[in-house]
Structure 1
Amino acid sequence: MSCPICDEDTVIKFRPFCSKRCADIDLAKWLNGSYAVPSQREEDMEADVSENDNAVQRPH
């Protein structure tokens, strides 16, 4: 198994990462929102549509 951050071999202590550094990088990505799972809720989809409608009306 290789580290998802740097592709080095993993270390059992930090699995699935190779080091604490790579584990911390991954955690930081989760905390700052770089990783996101799209929502399937209807309310969120309606909000996206209304935001896109407003974006079309605004001049650039």
Structure 2
Amino acid sequence: AQHYMPALTSVAVDSAGLGERAAHVMLKMIQSRTTRAEDHIGAVNLVVRDSCGPDRRAGMGDAA
């Protein structure tokens, strides 16, 4: 996201923790022979970049 112009705002997640949780849930499902889904709410961080600012073209004669 930071390689685009403007840099794009995104959401950062703990991908290793998410994978670990997914593996745990999958093993639990295999052991109990169930297909019941579980809800999991994990922490996320908003990474604010330039895409959350005013349009840089504004004031340059372009219609935004």
TM-score (norm 2): 0.29
Q: Bigger radius of gyration, 1 or 2?
A: 2
Q: Which has the higher contact order (CA 8 A, sep 6+)?
A: 2
- Structure in which a larger fraction of residues adopt strand: 2
Provide the TM-score with structure 1 as the length reference: 0.31
